[in-house]
Amino acid sequence: MRCTVLFPLLLAATAVRADFIDHLATAADVGKMKGPHRGSPRVLVIPLVVDDEPFESGQGNAAGFEAELRAFYGPPGAGFGFQRYFAAASLGRFTPEVSVASPVHIPTCPQLGPYTGCAIPRNGISGGDILGSVQLLQDVLRFLDEILVCAQDGPGSGRSCTAGGGADLGEVDVEGPAGVPDGWVDGVLLVSNAPFGGIALPVRWLRDNPLLQFTYPPLPDFTYGSQQVGIVAIAGRSGAPRHAAYVSVHEYGHVLGLADLYNESGSTTDMPYSVMGDWGYDVAASLPDPFSRVVLGWAQLHQVTGPGTLVLPPAAETGKVYKLGTGREFFLLEYRTRGNLTDGDLTVPGGVVVQRVRLDQLPSPNEGSFLGTLANCVNCSAWDPMLLVEQADGRYDLQQSLPRADADDLYRENDALLPSTDTQPRGASHMVSSTNRLDGTPTGLSLTVESITATEARVRVDAPAVADGCAELGWLCRESTCTAGACGTLAGPPDAGHPDAHVADAAVPQDASVPVDAGSPRPDAAVSPDAAAVTPDAATTPDAAITPDAGIPGADGGAAADAGAAPPGEDGPGSGCACTAGDAGAGSFLLAAALATLTRRRHARA
């Protein structure tokens, strides 16, 4: 079946701006397609014990497994843990309240499609077996529903569980778009001693998809009393030294809306310095990368508006990120340091991360487009990614599948990224490190690290003047008010008195003064169309070309260098989609993309 035939079936009746793992291209779909990423939502952790499966090293038995989970998901304290990590990574803006249910026990793994032992091969069902793929998804959805019912009601009524019960999903719905219960459970994590690997499934969307509806008995609707479950994240037993609980931190990033930033195709080394990328699940997690924290509203974001010296305190303490450049391809700069709560995998004390961002590769926010994102991940092309870490040694080793090397990749004292007179497109046969765009277009930008201490990095930058920093930041500041070219700033003294280049921290109000609706954008009625998103002038596309939606700018037709560069809009397939008009890709591959949330996981890497 041709891709152009199957895709409409998968996406039937989904022409709305709401999608899973779209990297917050829209935040208007908290509930069904995303969990809240602000405030103090509730997260229910369900320990699933498969009695005939072993436990991870150090757990020993079911009691040790449960004790480890209660410690990891428990109240804030010392060391790496779920609540502690997210509170630190978000600057206290996302502080989930986690409850660990009584363990659900089942005697053995159920049959899922043709597979037993809870282990689905990495590539799932292949060879164009659409019916086999559909059966696997149906079995998985029924199994997850059974576990949710067991967590609430315990054994009985034909369920396979022998223990469990007492959880109340009604208590896990507190942070809807208006900061009140909305009928959607805030978050559900299933952690098991079985080898599920790591997965996150938009269960309600899959259940409602027409391609899965022709089945008997009917699929569960994931409604429990008055609450619905939109997404279930799962973390299973991993090979030492990895931990299932650690994997769940990455999986919860998907619940929040983030896409994977590793390279599933294996054509490059996974993107480092991100919990969604290259992290081994064995030490304190990497912070979310700068762009991910920006779209979540977890960063202090500053637009560089001209030449000067930037002072970057540790990102783990302040969340400070500088945006260098304009338009739809730019750089984000931050200072990363190794710590007990974050970035435990750094092999050097610290360094400056220089991240190239290319908004044209942001996933589409249209519902169902995540299938294309799974089939063609956002960082699967070495020279056409959404995000790229510029490497201080200029060798582009990561793009050549060579190992990550923090001492060479992070920018440290005297390292520089400069313009180039070479304007040819960058690629495998033409690897020229510079601040030029990847298509070779000069930007006039440069940066040099002047000094690094334990408390700050100083970076000298040269950049063309930007008249209105807030207009340039545009939708990146949708979670808070932008003032003097900065948004998301913290209350209190600005950077302990350190000056910033063209940014007056003291003049920026604290983020708490702006309502953020518990993780979703402000209602349309409260947002002027395109307000602060695009400032029309002679050099940009007029506002009339921008479609406003829930406070988030829509398609701008791909216009270059919009003042407030918007994410891709609704017209046509998303950039991550493997299907375009006339594409002859196999339909079974797109359905397999849905299964990728079950089978693609790098957590199974050896």
* CA separation for the pair 571, 548 (Å, rounded): 14
The pTM score is 0.83
For 491-557, give the DSSP string: SSSGGGG---SS--GGGSPPGGGS--GGGSPPPGGGS-TTTTT----TTS--GGG--EETTEE---T
**Stretch 487-515: mean pLDDT:** 42
Q: Residue 124 forms beta bridges with which residues?
A: none
85-97 pLDDT tens trace = 999 999 999 999 9
Q: What percent of the chain has pLDDT over 90?
A: 62
Q: Give the start-end residues of each E strand in 409-474.
A: 416-417, 446-452, 457-462
**d(Cα 359, Cα 370) in Å, to the nearest integer?**
16
Class of residue 208 by CB neighbours under 10 A (exposed 0-12, middle 13-18, buried 19+): middle
pLDDT band, very low/low/confident/very high, at 416 (cuts 50, 70, 90): very high
pLDDT value at residue 394: 96
What pLDDT is recorded for position 541?
Answer: 32
Q: Regarding beta strands 446-452 and 416-417, do their DSSP bridges make them parallel or antiparallel, or are they unpaired?
A: antiparallel
Residue type, 63: A
**What is the per-residue pLDDT across 44-53, written as a single tens digit (0 to 9) for each?**
999 999 999 9
| E runs forming strands in 359-417 | 387-390, 416-417
How far apart, in whole angstroms, are the C-alpha atoms of residue 222 and residue 218? 12
Cα 5 to Cα 130, 136, 205, 282, 506: the distances in Å are 13, 22, 20, 43, 56
pLDDT of residue 558: 32
pLDDT band with cut points at 50, 70 and 90 for residue 137: confident
Instruction: Give per-residue pLDDT as tens, 174-219.
Output: 987 777 889 999 999 999 999 988 889 999 999 988 777 766 778 9
* CA 551/CA 523 separation, integer angstroms: 7
* Residues whose CB falls within 8 Å of the CB of residue 61, separated by 6 or more in sequence, listed in order: 55
Question: Which helix (H) or strand (E) covers residue 470, if one does?
Answer: helix 469-473
- Taking the CB of residue 400, how many other CB atoms lie within 10 A of it? 13
**pLDDT, average across residues 317-335:** 97
Res 530 pLDDT > 70: no
